[in-house]
Amino acid sequence: MKLVQTLIISASLALLLSSCGEEKAGGIEPSVYTDSLFAVMKADRTNYTKLIVARLGPKGADAIYPVEHWKDVENGAPLPAQMFRAGSEAVRDLTDKFTYTLQSEWPINKQNAPSTPMEEEGLKFIAANPGENFYGTEKLGDKSYFTAVYPDVAVAEACVSCHNDHKDTPRSDFKIGDVMGGVVIRVPL
């Protein structure tokens, strides 16, 4: 129940932030906007990983457990990356003020690979510069976007072991604290 409350609060904050930009003359700086959105996303993702995934029981008859194909398992729960994607898809259905995705230079799921030169540049930058964010602008079709890339860091042993041991992993040497990928936030200009 607390997870649902956290998700509702997060979505409300994201919508509040998006409306703030419209009410102020000239709006807010895109980096302030995306930094604020990322703070909410990072908190939710970290809390889900540490407070839910790490506490779920081992596989058993009645245990709820995180598993990649969670919809096909009676007691399956989504992995942190799957929860993040679900949030991203829900936000996409609620607003056109921003989008966000979880991507990696070493994706287990190929749909999480970078798809634009700006995404590739941003992911390389955050991997080479731990703790720093990447900001840029890009044109996609006939629209210009402010694109921000934030480091997605392994915060729990569950992150590391899942990625290192996955059958489709392109990299198997992650440690807690490593940048495993990035959160890409895109705002139309």
pLDDT recorded at residue 84: 84
Counted residue by residue, the chain has a size of 189
What is the amino acid identity at position 74?
Answer: E
CB proximity list for 106: less than 8 A, separation 6 or greater: 163, 169, 170, 171, 180, 181
Q: What is the pLDDT of residues 11-29, one digit of tens each?
A: 444 444 444 443 343 578 8
Per-residue pLDDT tens digits of the chain, which is 189 residues long: 444 444 434 444 444 444 444 334 357 888 888 888 888 888 787 777 777 776 675 655 567 767 777 777 777 777 788 888 888 888 888 888 899 999 999 998 888 999 999 999 999 999 999 889 999 999 999 999 999 999 999 887 877 887 888 888 888 899 999 999 999 999 999
- For the entire predicted model, the pTM comes to 0.74
Closest residue by Cα to residue 99 from 20, 29, 18 = 18
Closest residue by Cα to residue 151 from 187, 180, 175 = 180
Helix residue ranges per DSSP H, the chain:
2-23, 30-47, 80-94, 117-128, 157-165
pLDDT recorded at residue 157: 80
pLDDT recorded at residue 81: 82
Closest residue by Cα to residue 156 from 180, 131, 185 = 180
pLDDT recorded at residue 120: 97
